[in-house]
């Protein structure tokens, strides 16, 4: 009789041991994942943001990570926005950033970058950037799907490494410091996803653009993800704006293709590389960039103002100054801190004249 009772407890004990082991594995995985301020804090802050308060979602690669300011949209237009962008962001990760966002927010407008539309994304070489885009996302079936898509395109990555990061980062035990425990704590990202680089670098002004070119062929694999995102957002009742930020890799042939593809899907298209747009936002080739591909915060102010005006003109039903008192107070506090940092940078630019 006693033996039978003991046998009944065996499955329970095994289950407890398995659960305990999994919890330890998950905790150690979080501990061993390298901390990156722009990725870790951005994702954690997004998940802590009050639900259904973000009306404009910005997603894409580093040109959008630095190129738009959610806080400027709040200050000048009363629009609540959040950026979910990352360096060298692969199309499947952009797909996940947006799909995952709808579990917590109901954006009225999604602003999406398409940096990889004409590039062959190297899933082996860019594995560190893939990890930074994936490791801090909460578990979901969509995340599993994207892991599967990444692994299919790489001969050096594995599903288990993404599901249990400890398998990927176990060698970091030699590097662990007390700061790694500190980095497990939540730290609020005052920039709402933007990662401003306070540096100015003069770059060559763009010469006259040759418009007598053929449309450039898109990367079909990348476009399949971007297209799916547009269709998904529209099925959720969101408007989509596809953007190309100022970037010296741009060509008029790329513009022709990107415009055609996105408009065929029903999305709006803004290309900041067009001569008339560069002139309209009054781009300064001496002070508005920090490298040939990316705007600094002063340049981002100009792009954000154009985006804000565009949103107000084209989406008059977009909520403005309608968030809760709690969200407004937090945004205003974030804005105050950001303005302090921006003022120092602007004074530095003025002194260098």
Pairing outcome for strands 109-113 and 239-244: parallel
Specify which residues 112 forms β-bridges with. Answer: 59, 242
Which among 112, 96, 149, 106 has a CA at the least distance from the CA of 265? 112
**pLDDT for residue 351:** 76
CA distance 350 to 103: 44
CA distance 148 to 138: 16
**pLDDT for residue 10:** 63
- Residues with pLDDT less than 50, the chain: none
Provide φ and ψ at 111, rounded to 5°: -105, 115
Model confidence, pTM = 0.91
CB 147 within 8 A of CB 159: yes
Q: Which fold would CATH assign to domain 36-153+187-351?
A: Rossmann fold (3.40.50)
**pLDDT for residue 217:** 96
**pLDDT for residue 317:** 92
CB 98 within 8 A of CB 235: no
Token output for 225: 């993800």
CB 161 within 8 A of CB 167: yes
**pLDDT for residue 118:** 94
**pLDDT for residue 14:** 72
**pLDDT for residue 300:** 97
**pLDDT for residue 26:** 62
Using CB atoms within 10 A of its CB, is residue 305 exposed (0-12), middle (13-18) or buried (19+)? middle
């Amino acid at each position: 009789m006693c033996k039978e009772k003991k046998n009944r407890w065996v499955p329970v004990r095994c289950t407890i041991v398995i659960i305990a082991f999994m919890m330890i594995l998950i905790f150690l995985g979080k501990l061993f994942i390298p901390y990156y301020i722009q990725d870790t804090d951005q994702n954690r802050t997004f998940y802590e943001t009050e639900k259904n308060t973000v009306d404009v979602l910005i997603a894409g690669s580093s040109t959008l990570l630095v190129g738009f300011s959610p806080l400027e949209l709040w200050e000048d237009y009363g629009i609540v926005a959040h950026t979910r962008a990352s360096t060298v962001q692969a199309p499947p990760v952009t797909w996940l950033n947006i799909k995952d966002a709808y579990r917590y927010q109901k954006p009225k407008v999604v602003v999406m970058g398409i940096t990889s539309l004409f590039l062959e994304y190297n899933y082996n070489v860019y594995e560190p950037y893939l990890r930074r885009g994936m490791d801090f996302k909460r578990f979901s079936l969509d995340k599993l799907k994207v892991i599967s898509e990444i692994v299919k395109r790489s001969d050096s990555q594995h599903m288990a490494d993404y599901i249990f990061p400890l398998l990927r980062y176990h060698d970091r035990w030699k590097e662990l410091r007390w700061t790694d425990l500190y980095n497990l704590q939540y730290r609020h990202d005052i920039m709402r996803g933007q990662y401003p680089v306070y540096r100015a670098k003069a770059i060559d002004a763009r010469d006259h653009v040759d418009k007598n070119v053929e449309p450039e062929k898109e990367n079909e694999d990348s476009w399949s993800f971007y297209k799916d995102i547009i269709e998904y957002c529209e099925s959720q009742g969101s408007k989509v704006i596809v953007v190309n930020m100022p970037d010296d890799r741009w060509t008029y042939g790329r513009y022709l293709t990107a415009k055609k593809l996105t408009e065929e899907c029903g999305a709006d298209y803004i290309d900041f590389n067009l001569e008339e747009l560069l002139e309209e936002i009054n781009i300064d080739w001496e002070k508005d960039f920090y490298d040939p591909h990316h705007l600094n915060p002063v340049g981002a102010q100009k792009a954000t103002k154009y985006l804000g005006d565009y949103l107000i003109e084209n989406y008059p039903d977009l909520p403005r100054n309608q968030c809760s008192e709690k969200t407004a107070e937090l945004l205003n506090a974030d804005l105050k801190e950001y303005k302090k940092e921006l003022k120092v940078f602007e004074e530095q630019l003025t002194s260098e004249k």
